[in-house]
Amino acid sequence: FCCGVAALARWDDPMPLIGTGEWRGSIVREPRGTSGFGYDPVFFDPRLGATAAELPAQVKNRVSHRGQALAQIEKALRELTATG
């Protein structure tokens, strides 16, 4: 899965903040787990040995493609506010 997120200060912002994330895995034949939505029960992360639906929300939010992209945006916003 891939995700791209852009944050703009205004609609015509010439330098938007951009975050990207990628979550590699495979599809299992039988759904596993009860949390999440969509493909979560069949999307398997081999590094974690679990489907997305088997992961605690805190872990899924950290490792998912969306979580990675938003973490990059959060970091960039913190850097901007720290430097003024």
CA distance readout (Å), 5 to 15, 17, 49, 83: 13, 8, 27, 22
CB 19 within 8 A of CB 82: no
Output the tens digit of pLDDT for each of the chain's 84 residues: 999 999 998 999 999 999 999 999 999 999 999 998 999 999 999 999 999 999 999 999 999 999 999 999 999 999 988 886
Model confidence pTM above 0.75: yes
